[in-house]
């Protein structure tokens, strides 16, 4: 079960980076017929928020445990 969450989180991170690079390509082309760059940046921000929420839920439910000591 834990490996499934890890795979989903890594997939979400790849999706986030993919949208970041899509926004970069659209910004460099400056084509008015393309979708706006903010569409892809918004997807990246929403994906980041979803990742943080999922991680917090997994910590609260006890599925994963954070490192108790930072060193």
**Residue 40 is encoded by which pair of tokens?**
């892809």
HEC per residue, the chain: CHHHHHHHHHHHHHHHHHHHHHHHHHHHHCCCCCCCHHHHHHHHHHHHHHHHHHHHHHHHHCCCCCCCCCC
Task: Assess if residue 40 is contained within a domain.
Answer: yes
> For position 53, what pLDDT does the model report?
95
Specify if 1 maps to a domain: yes
User: Is 4 among the domain residues?
Assistant: yes
Give average pLDDT by consecutive 10-residue segment, the chain, 71 residues: 89 94 89 87 93 93 86 75
- CA distances 37 to 17, 26, 65, 68, Å, are 14, 6, 37, 40
Residue 2: inside a domain, yes or no? Answer: yes
Residue 52 lies in a domain: yes
Q: So what's the pLDDT on residue 31?
A: 82
Q: Is 22 domain-assigned? A: no
Residue 10 in domain? yes
State which residues form the domain around 50.
1-15+34-61
Q: pLDDT value at position 1? A: 78
Domain total in the chain:
1
């Amino acid at each position: 079960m834990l490996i499934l969450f890890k795979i989903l989180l890594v997939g979400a991170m790849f999706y986030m980076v993919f949208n970041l690079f899509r926004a970069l390509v659209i910004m460099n082309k400056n084509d008015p017929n393309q979708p706006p760059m903010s569409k892809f940046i918004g997807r990246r921000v929403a994906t980041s928020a979803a990742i943080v929420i999922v991680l917090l839920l997994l910590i609260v439910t006890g599925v994963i445990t954070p490192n108790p000591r930072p060193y």
